[in-house]
Structure 1
Amino acid sequence: MLILIAGPYRSGTNDDTNLIAQNMQQMEEAALAVYRLGHTPICGEWIALPLIHMAGSTQLGDAVFNEIFHPVA
């Protein structure tokens, strides 16, 4: 079964990159647990963030980021 792992990415971080990384780590820990139960986990950020990078985003919350992040992740 494909299971979406959802959680806050920027919420409550005030865009502090260390806090964002902690949020991402928690989602990825959950993804690993889901995988070990025999399922395929996916975090929307795993799809959105590379697209955002390729589209030329230069900072969190810029127009490119906002165009892609929420619709995908």
Structure 2
Amino acid sequence: MRVLLHTPRKQIEMKASSHLSVDLNVDLFNPILDILQDHKIHSVKDIVEALKDHFNEMDIFTVLAILAGKIIWL
């Protein structure tokens, strides 16, 4: 699977909103956004590889899923 950040990073609010508003963990999200902010296509495999010393795969998959949901609904 490959991903691309289409939305400018500064427009991504670090909150998840539903019936409650929850602050997103910037320690998890920022390293992934650092990789994606060039607006180029990145494979999930490459993102996992780049961050393997800091995060497990499930954390990365979760962040990517949350970002996908946030960006779709902006």
Greater Rg, structure 1 or structure 2?
1
TM score, norm. by length of structure 2: 0.32
TM-score, normalised via structure 1 length? 0.33
Higher relative contact order (Cα pairs below 8 Å, separated by 6+ residues): 2
